[in-house]
Structure 1
């Protein structure tokens, strides 16, 4: 009996040491007090450093986080800000997980309210971290909103949203928040009835005379005769500088977010950078409290990740940029210092400073004008020369065809991607941007009135420098409904448009894309646009008429081809059903008859 008791005692001790519960109330954190809990919550996080399999528990309620006592870290984050826009890369972080492992944050449906300008949480150099059952919002979102009640050529009357703080100074409207003001403006008009976000200008409002009628009602007197303002629209505007992100996952592995309602995020949304194996499920990036916008920019942004990215059962609604963007980064070769030594540079203004290469990483050498891969190499050593430039020592000399001005891509850090059971709506831009050479599955999603292409596959080494020629993409069982209203006469549903400026004979940028068993609901006849692609199959899809007409599109003739193909080969378009009043046609440029197979009834024009 004594031996049995000893064994049981050791077993219980072993279980206790492997599973630790930290209740934030034990660190002085109480819900619904409206006080700043940032410092005390960080103490709870830090207490997990010596234990594994820790659950940090928040009893259900409201918790407020302020930047004043938040952890500060310098982070260079992709696609955010230039040296001029935002010289300081110091971020204020509500919850910081740094060099942590095996932690679950259990919110129990709690509301995390953030103040000022903050990154809600950051996961840095950590493994096996999970956030679940949390609602996120900002006390004063950095997006200002007002609804147009009446619009006349010489005046506008608008109702200010209660969450949007403002004042009138010298007859001019000024927006402000918790320790911040606005000097530059990016504006969208949201129509929550139509479910659209359209580009606009704040200049007529900023130049007009503003008078307070009621505490939340303002009259603007000026010239509104040439605006696209209409009564009922919600005027949404923000600063253009992305000085923070909503959530940052950096150099981390096995990260899970589940059952999160992100009602507002300041900056670029959930950014995952050089991280591995990311699983995001039941994430709702949707506005609350009668607001129209939930995200300052993108919803989810992935740069230089590897392993697998899985996005399941998520909802994206009311964003000022793309719901999901997955890509790598091309760096330009600035100097060939020796046969196996090169200096490379981050070229886009908003992307620089992060560690982009590691010892033993595999890289591809890319000829920038054609985006053709000219060889491969392995990194032997990495030397950071500046925030912009990196020197790489390679195990072997680089290919002879590569010259200064060409690009390299880190192909070790490229992920597979699985996006399913999601809804994308009320965004002014695309639904998905995807550039990765690993397997991509986009399945059982609903794309509703995305402002531009529902899905775009690009890659470029001359503008955004977002890398990743695709090699295996399956787009299946999705619904594409009335997309492209912000790009009149060019409103293709799916666009495969690499930005190669020269064409390589018998070589292509993207390969092996299959689009099958989808439903397309369109007003005109524009379905698919592709360039420099080999192995594109469009089969067993249903294309139906939809009555919605974009205000930008209603007076333009529908003259473009339904399928617009340029420099493509091994194309197959067959077994599709077209229930449209408009004519379906195929246009082929820089192609011959042997490059394409189509249904007999489908007219094909070669240019």
Structure 2
């Protein structure tokens, strides 16, 4: 009995110790809400004071605090899909920097953190067991200009700027500026609020005419831009496409949770998670503050995961107003440029992704043929060195494959995540809703994809342009609503597109496998439902597929499924409403590979 009592006492002690946390208030370090003073040095001081301690809770004061680059932590960082190929500085200004920490929580208390100049809202670097919750971030002057068309005719167009958009006209040219930055109009996306649509467009129609500043918030162009189709009420959202920043950065970290975090404006890429393990986003929102009157919150992607492992879980999140994809999960193919015995020299190929270690000692790798994206062998890394910003050298444990050749690619298959995306709402984007390429289990469940400009879901794999890897091995898409996705792209505008970037199909070999699309609701703006290329074991079952065109007077159309080089396909027990029929187009495969139950498809071969 005494022994049992001792064990119980020890357990109680351990539980109490593990539950103990040290609370620090930022106000004790000089942070004053609503003071409009630079809180950067106080936050850095507070974090430095608890370096080396565990179970720390850093409490924000509520209200509004402001951060400037001056006195903020500065670090040279190379971030996936975010680092431009030039000689400009890659040093980032970090609003909140959590580096080399263990077991720390940032309790935001609904604080609004306002950034001045180009800054990364938060960075979690080489840390574990980190929670950031109940906090909001915004820019004082977003790097996205917003202008409403208030008058348009055959000879004149008048634009009204949003209060957060600062501009001048010099020599007839329109210039936008903010705190520490300035730009000419470049990348342009149109928001049509009445239609709840977001389109990629162009500034070119205006660039040919002289701008006149008529008042502090109005600009006029004398000339005819009618061919571009602009309408009164359209909002032009304009930015420089140069990516030199991100909204948040999670790097080389483990067990990171973002909960009830709101990103009201992001400059550059969104929240980028890179070579990190076990990441949870719960009730994370990327959308303008309602009272701001702005329409766009994200310069590019919202949630971007590159080379991660463990479990990525994105649950009950919302994105509204992005110039690129709400969510993207991928690895990175590196090209083999030199082969020496057991040693490989690899090169980052895309101009926006380089400068970080993409392989580590002990990692398992796959050798990939770029022409067909097929894995032909595997290996284990003994040593890995980043020898320049663009190149890595790997020493392998075993001999290299005998059929290995230069220009083949290498994928890191240790750093590939399991992914769960559920209960989210994705809207107001001119691009795709969700991109996923990972060889581990993926569940996409109970989400709403609302009027994405392009595919609701895109599954790729690429060794030729973005170099985003890899093959899908176990993907379930169920219980989702696709509301008029996409609203553009015409006959190629598939709601779901499985599109690895190759047209080379070795007989009996497939890139993706085990994809199930079941129990979803498709509200189709057009005819194209599904495209699938190089998939082994594909099911499209028990879905409601309804035609819901933007113009109800449009003639009924045919629900279209396009398949290329697929095997063991089952399209069965789906309910079609509003279409005049269903059509199945097949290339590079036999129709015997397809089971369609009792429903008779018109087939094109």
Both proteins in one fold, TM over 0.5: yes
Is the contact between residue 471 and residue 510 of structure 1 (CA under 8 Å) also seen in structure 2?
yes
CA distance in 2, matches of 1:591, 1:353: 42
**Stretches of structure 1 lacking an aligned partner (at least 5 in a row):** 1-6
CA distance in 2, matches of 1:582, 1:252: 53
User: Which residue in 2 is equivalent to 1:578?
Assistant: 576
User: Which residue in 1 is equivalent to 2:105?
Assistant: 104
Is the contact between residue 146 and residue 236 of structure 1 (CA under 8 Å) also seen in structure 2?
yes
CA distance in 1, matches of 2:408, 2:480: 37
CA distance in 1, matches of 2:600, 2:372: 31
TM-score, structure 2 as length reference: 0.95
Residues 528-550 of structure 1: CA deviation (Å, up to 9, x unaligned)? 00000111000000011213159
Q: Does 1:458 align with 2:467?
A: no
Superposed displacement of residue 171, structure 1: 2.6
User: Which residue in 1 is equivalent to 2:545?
Assistant: 543
Superposed displacement of residue 184, structure 1: 5.9
CA distance in 1, matches of 2:53, 2:378: 42
Superposed displacement of residue 561, structure 1: 6.4
Superposed displacement of residue 203, structure 1: 2.3
User: Which residue in 1 is equivalent to 2:23?
Assistant: 21
User: Which residue in 1 is equivalent to 2:144?
Assistant: 143
User: Which residue in 2 is equivalent to 1:333?
Assistant: 336
Is the contact between residue 190 and residue 198 of structure 2 (CA under 8 Å) also seen in structure 1?
yes
Q: Does 1:313 align with 2:311?
A: no
CA distance in 2, matches of 1:162, 1:23: 34
Q: Does the C-alpha gap of structure 1 residues 492 and 173 become closer, same or farther in structure 2, counting only changes over 3 Å?
A: same
Deviates more, 1:511-520 or 1:385-394: 385-394
CA distance in 1, matches of 2:210, 2:404: 59
Corresponding residue to 2:427 among 392, 417, 425: 425
Is the contact between residue 383 and residue 391 of structure 1 (CA under 8 Å) also seen in structure 2?
yes
Is the contact between residue 17 and residue 52 of structure 1 (CA under 8 Å) also seen in structure 2?
no
Which secondary structure does the structure 1 equivalent of 2:443 belong to?
strand
Which secondary structure does the structure 1 equivalent of 2:451 belong to?
strand
Q: Does the C-alpha gap of structure 1 residues 532 and 558 become closer, same or farther in structure 2, counting only changes over 3 Å?
A: farther
Task: Map 1:168-183; keep pairs closer than 5 Å.
Answer: 168-183=169-184
Deviates more, 1:237-246 or 1:210-219: 210-219
Superposed displacement of residue 603, structure 1: 1.9
Task: Map 1:406-445; keep pairs closer than 5 Å.
Answer: 406-445=408-447
Superposed displacement of residue 69, structure 1: 1.4
Is the contact between residue 182 and residue 239 of structure 1 (CA under 8 Å) also seen in structure 2?
yes
CA distance in 2, matches of 1:187, 1:599: 46
User: Which residue in 2 is equivalent to 1:4?
Assistant: none
CA distance in 1, matches of 2:513, 2:52: 48
Superposed displacement of residue 401, structure 1: 2.4
Runs of 4+ in 1 over 3 A off after TM superposition: 14-18, 557-561
Q: Does 1:156 align with 2:161?
A: no
Which secondary structure does the structure 1 equivalent of 2:284 belong to?
strand
CA distance in 2, matches of 1:240, 1:108: 34
CA distance in 2, matches of 1:32, 1:79: 35
Residues 397-449 of structure 1: CA deviation (Å, up to 9, x unaligned)? 12222211110100000000000000111100000000000000000000010
CA distance in 2, matches of 1:589, 1:16: 60
Is the contact between residue 424 and residue 447 of structure 1 (CA under 8 Å) also seen in structure 2?
yes
User: Which residue in 2 is equivalent to 1:3?
Assistant: none
Superposed displacement of residue 11, structure 1: 7.3
CA distance in 1, matches of 2:592, 2:385: 49
Task: Map 1:285-324; keep pairs closer than 5 Å.
Answer: 285-288=286-289, 289-324=292-327
Is the contact between residue 557 and residue 580 of structure 2 (CA under 8 Å) also seen in structure 1?
no
CA distance in 2, matches of 1:403, 1:451: 40
Residues 461-491 of structure 1: CA deviation (Å, up to 9, x unaligned)? 0110000100000000000010112312211
CA distance in 2, matches of 1:88, 1:549: 50
Q: Does 1:121 align with 2:122?
A: yes
Which secondary structure does the structure 1 equivalent of 2:269 belong to?
coil
Which secondary structure does the structure 1 equivalent of 2:47 belong to?
helix
TM-score, structure 1 as length reference: 0.95
Superposed CA RMSD in Å reads 2.1
